[in-house]
Structure 1
């Protein structure tokens, strides 16, 4: 016998139908979450009377109310800053372009920071170099991160420690070498280097970059894969990439390698 049928036998007649039980449940939820006085003539004494009918104890909340979920969702979202709420809505409605633009802006900021660290007082910002970095984030890295993290979440949906290490290993073996190879090749091509010069640059710079990445990215990836929701993982990855890109843009804009 379910709780509704049993309550019809044990509760007073005016509370015996399903509609009344829903009204009781909604009244209780509104009372708890809004801080208002009980409504529908629903006092603490009468509620205690409803909970205990003979030797049978009726649960405090009869049904899982959608109003409870809506109240908790609205309460949590109202505490978020307006910009964060706007950004999360964009991630939901236009995930591909939002992640691409975010990555582009982070790469642009990282390159400007890198230039500030290395340039002499008499020098000025190389905005063409910054545009190259921003375009790489927009055209290549942002879209590839979106596809990569979505793919990993499909083939490895769990978030336990073993699965997290599998994702980290795949990132170090597949995604990292591919993205760094494309980065160096793309940047060198836009600087006018030919194929032989690009290959010489890769031989000189790619392996040291991957070695240094082994000391930085596994920690960032562990936090990303273990604790960050899938739709925010590219943002977390790009945020970690801000520090990494300061080093990466410095490496990418060194003098040509001897071919």
Structure 2
């Protein structure tokens, strides 16, 4: 199995970086994930030209959330560890899906809306349009990822493992955000087109 040794070296290097500087490693990894996720969403899920401002928004959102997300998963890994491995995994999944996922998705879509210049009312509508469906769809992916990660992946490599999966997930979230924005623009255009027009008054002034 000597051929596999060169493949292990990048993971060992990442583990060393994680040990020396966990926060900078997490920040750097998160920025790469968000950049690739947004790039994929713009290139694959949209026919429009690449929008650098959208990519910048993704980096800001990812950068702000990187350390809190890392802290959360470290907390999750260090708690809810019972004698039964199955009970531990099930508890971590339920807590993550119940608390972290809806909070993070609200943050993600809310920040996307605010950073693009939308009002608070429009941001509220964006959250309503995107968070419930993204939360439901997260149950199709992240419980399995969480279970596999806490069962087979060493703690120092969990973030990079989840990061690879997260590239696809960020692509989906970015696509969902684009879809919601287009629907909001269409509703606004329809509302403007159907708004009643007040005719100017033709009454003569009183003598």
* Residues 157-236 of structure 1 mapped to structure 2, 5 A cutoff: 157=81, 160-236=85-161
Q: Aligned partners of 1:118 and 1:153: how far apart in 2?
A: 34
* 1:132 positional shift: 1.2
Secondary structure (helix, strand or coil) at the match of 1:255 reads helix
Given the two structures, how large is their TM-score scaled by the length of structure 1?
0.64
> Shift of residue 135 of structure 1?
2.1
RCO comparison, higher one (Cα < 8 Å, 6+): 2
In structure 1, what is the equivalent of residue 53 of structure 2?
128
Structure 2 counterpart of 1:37: none
Corresponding residue to 1:155 among 73, 79, 91: 79
Change (3 A) 1:250 1:79: closer
* 8 Å Cα contact 2:11/2:157 also seen in 1: no
Q: Kindly report which structure 2 residues correspond to 1:52-67, keeping only aligned pairs within 5 A, or say none.
A: none
Q: Is the 8 A contact 1:167 1:225 kept in 2?
A: no
Residue in 2 that maps onto 1:139: 64
Unaligned runs of at least 5 residues, structure 1: 1-74
- Pick aligned residue for 2:19 from 80, 92, 111: 92
Q: For the residues of structure 1 that align with 2:33 and 2:171, how far apart are their CA atoms? A: 10
Say which of 34, 40, 45 aligns to 1:113. 40
- Please identify which structure carries the higher helix content: 2
Q: Which is higher, the Rg of structure 1 or of structure 2?
A: 1
- Name the SS of the counterpart of 1:202 in structure 2: helix
Assess if the C-alpha contact under 8 Å between 1:224 and 1:233 holds in 2: yes
Equivalent residues, number: 181
1:83 aligns with 2:10: yes
Give the conservation status (yes or no) of the 8 Å contact 1:103–1:235.
no
Structure 2, unaligned runs of 5 or more: 189-207
What SS does the aligned partner of 1:125 have?
coil
Task: Supply the RMSD in Å over aligned alpha carbons.
Answer: 2.3
**d(CA) in 1 for partners of 2:45 and 2:20?**
39
**Once the two structures are superposed, what CA deviation does each residue of 1:130-158 show, in whole Å capped at 9, x if it has no partner?**
12112222221x21221011111222245
